[in-house]
């Protein structure tokens, strides 16, 4: 999908701060951020919960596994929303593909966007197991409160600690090693879902009537920022998909 914006505008992001500010000047970017944060932290949190609790046997407080997942994922949503907000525009910018003539911005390489975004998030979450051990793991103040309110001995069998705890460096390596193949496809799925949501919004009639007040409001389609292009499904694209 080609956009009528000079290529130099997309190839030169300036500072990261300017890149992020320009990206979120379009409301579509906020939809993408919200969808991406939900999917990456709650769906990704479910996979991470299985990996750490059941596969690695790291254990946790004697509470329901569903509650454990909800608590960990909610903590991830709060703690990772800001990093995700920074990662998305960086991934979108690195995935921009200049047109052959150099005068227009070309299509976004979607697979590159997903890989860069997912890999960056995996690196950012490397210290997450250490944070979890200090604030949410069994024996911490928060875990004791959750166990007191909602826990019970019936949950102990599925929450057994490893006989030997992994070192902090090994925990971070395990987190990143599992995170990259997890977050890359989830980033791709979040992009597809965001496109569907924005497509539904764009099918709304441009003029809507307020029956109660008798006022007509015109819905204005904003000018598309090239960096937000990956969140928008092209209406007509005669060229085949290029994943390179």
Q: What is the pLDDT of residues 66-118, one digit of tens each?
A: 888 998 899 999 999 999 999 999 998 888 876 665 544 556 788 999 999 99
What is the per-residue pLDDT for 178?
96
Q: Is the pLDDT of residue 51 over 70?
A: yes
What is the per-residue pLDDT for 6?
37
pTM over 0.75: no
Query: Taking the domains of the chain in order of start, what are their residue ranges?
Result: 7-231
Stretch 34-62: mean pLDDT: 88
More confident residue, 127 or 155: 127
Closest CA to 25 of 36, 33, 35, 37: 33
Integer distance in angstroms from the first to the last C-alpha of the chain? 15
User: What residue ranges in the chain does DSSP mark as E strands?
Assistant: 96-98, 105-108, 207-210, 215-218
Find which of 13-27, 73-87, 155-169 is predicted with most confidence, using mean pLDDT. Answer: 73-87
Query: pLDDT tens for residues 117-140?
Result: 999 999 999 998 888 777 766 667
What is the per-residue pLDDT for 16?
83
Find the angle CA(170)-CA(171)-CA(177) to the nearest 5 degrees: 85
Average pLDDT of the residues of the chain: 74
Strands 105-108 and 215-218, sheet pairing: unpaired
Give, to the nearest 10 degrees, the angle between helix 168-202 and helix 110-124: 140
Confidence of residue 233 (pLDDT cuts 50, 70, 90): low
Q: Which residues contact 228 (CB under 8 A, 6 or more apart)?
A: 23, 26, 28, 29, 32, 92
Confidence of residue 221 (pLDDT cuts 50, 70, 90): very low
Q: Is the pLDDT of residue 237 over 50?
A: no
Confidence of residue 43 (pLDDT cuts 50, 70, 90): very high
């Amino acid at each position: 999908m080609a956009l009528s914006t000079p290529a130099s505008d997309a190839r030169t992001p300036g500072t990261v701060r300017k890149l992020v500010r320009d990206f979120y000047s379009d409301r579509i970017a906020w939809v993408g951020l919200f969808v991406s944060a939900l999917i990456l932290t709650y769906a990704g949190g479910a996979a991470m919960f299985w990996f750490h609790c059941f596969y690695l046997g790291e254990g946790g407080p004697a509470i329901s596994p569903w509650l454990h997942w909800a608590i960990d994922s909610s903590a991830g949503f709060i703690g990772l929303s800001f990093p995700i907000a920074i990662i998305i525009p960086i991934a979108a910018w690195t995935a921009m593909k200049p047109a052959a003539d150099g005068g227009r911005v070309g299509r976004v390489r979607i697979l590159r966007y997903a890989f860069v975004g997912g890999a960056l998030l995996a690196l950012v979450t490397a210290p997450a197991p250490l944070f979890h051990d200090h604030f949410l793991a069994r024996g911490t103040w928060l875990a004791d409160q959750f166990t007191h309110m909602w826990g019970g001995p019936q949950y102990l069998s599925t929450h057994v600690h490893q006989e030997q705890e992994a070192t902090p460096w090994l925990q971070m390596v395990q987190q990143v090693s599992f995170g990259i193949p997890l977050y890359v496809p989830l980033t791709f799925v979040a992009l597809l879902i965001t496109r569907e949501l924005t497509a539904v919004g764009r099918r709304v009639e441009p003029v809507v009537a307020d029956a109660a007040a008798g006022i007509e409001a015109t819905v204005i389609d904003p000018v598309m920022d090239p960096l937000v292009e990956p969140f928008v499904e092209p209406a007509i694209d005669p060229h085949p998909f290029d994943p390179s």
